[in-house]
Amino acid sequence: MLSSFLSPQNGTWADTFSLLLALAVALYLGYYWACVLQRPRLVAGPQFLAFLEQHCSITTETFYPTLWCFEGRLQSIFQVFLQSQPLVFYQRILVLNHLAQAEQAAGLVAALTLSACWDSFETTRSLETPFNSLLFNQSPRCWALPTCGTAHTIRQFDERYTSVAFGYQDCVTYYKAASPRTKVDAIQIPVLCLNAADDPFSPVGALPIQAAQQSPYVALLITARGGHIGFLEGLLPWQHCYMSRLLHQYARAIFQHPEGLPDLWALSPSEDRNS
C-alpha cells in the first residue's frame, strides 16, 4: 500500500511539489512587498529638501528593485551585465573632495553622485568581511610594479601603491584625506548623493546623515536596496534604470527651477562687511 501511495502514477509527489512551490512563491512575494518595497530616505536641509520633494518626485516615490534580484550584492554584480548602455561615472570621491576644497569656486551649478564611498576605512572594513571579500575585495593587477604583485586586497594595494604614488605618509593618512565624510560642511554647491543602505562598498553606517541634515547644500537619498551602482528596477531591468531616471529629473529640476536652489552667491556676514 505504501509503495502504491508513493508511486509516480499516484500523483502525490507532483501535487506536493506544486503546493510547496506555490507556498514558496507566495512567501517570497510577501517578503518582497512587505520588506523590500520602501520609499527612499531623503536627508537634507529644509530649503534643499523642499526643492527636491517639489521638483524631483522620484525622491519621494517607492523604489521597486528588480523582483528576482533585489539583494545589494546581486544588484552590484548584475548591473554590469544587464545594462547594455551604462551611465558614465566619474570618481565620486574625487567629485565630493573637489567640491569641499573648491567651495563656491567649483564652477558648477549643482552635482549628483552615485554610490559614493564616504569613509574609506568603513569601505575596506566592509569589503574584508568574508562574503564581500570573496566577491569584491580583489587587488587591481599591476604586475609592472614589483610591490603590487603580492597585494591581494584593495587595502594592501592602497598600502603598497596608491598611498605611495600620491605622496601620502601611509595608507591611514591617505584614507583620511580621501574620505569626504568629514568635509560635508565645506561643500557649498548643491549636490544630491544617491546611496543604498545595502551597498557593500559604502555601508549605511558610514553615511554622513547628521551632517547632511545641517548642511544647506548636501542631500542624501538613501534607498533600502540597490547595492553599489546597481539600483536595478522593474521585472526587466535592462529596460529601466533608477539612476538614469534620477539624473534626468534632477537635471531638469536644476535648470527649470534654479530659483528654488540654495542661494550660491549669498555673501556671508564677513564678506558683506568687506564689500
- Nearest residue to 59 (alpha-carbon basis) of 68, 48, 75: 48
Dist CA 249 CA 72 (whole Å):
24
More confident residue, 56 or 6: 56
Dist CA 230 CA 136 (whole Å):
14
Which phi and psi angles does 89 have, rounded to 5°? -110, 125
More confident residue, 8 or 69: 69
- Under 8 Å between Cβ of 243 and 223: no
Instruction: Return the C-alpha cell found at 80.
Output: 554590469
Q: Which amino acid is at 104?
A: Q
pTM: 0.85
Dist CA 164 CA 152 (whole Å):
17
Give the three-state DSSP class for 218: strand
Taking each helix axis as running N to C, give the angle between helix 120-127 and helix 171-178, from 0 to 180 degrees, rounded to the nearest 10.
Answer: 110
Dist CA 200 CA 117 (whole Å):
10
Q: Which amino acid is at 136?
A: F
Q: What is the mean pLDDT of the chain?
A: 85
Question: What is residue 93's predicted lDDT score, i.e. its pLDDT?
Answer: 80
For 19-53, write each residue's pLDDT tens digit: 999 999 999 999 999 999 999 999 999 999 999 99
Positive or negative torsion for Cα 252, 255, 257, 259: positive
Q: Residue 274: pLDDT above 60?
A: no
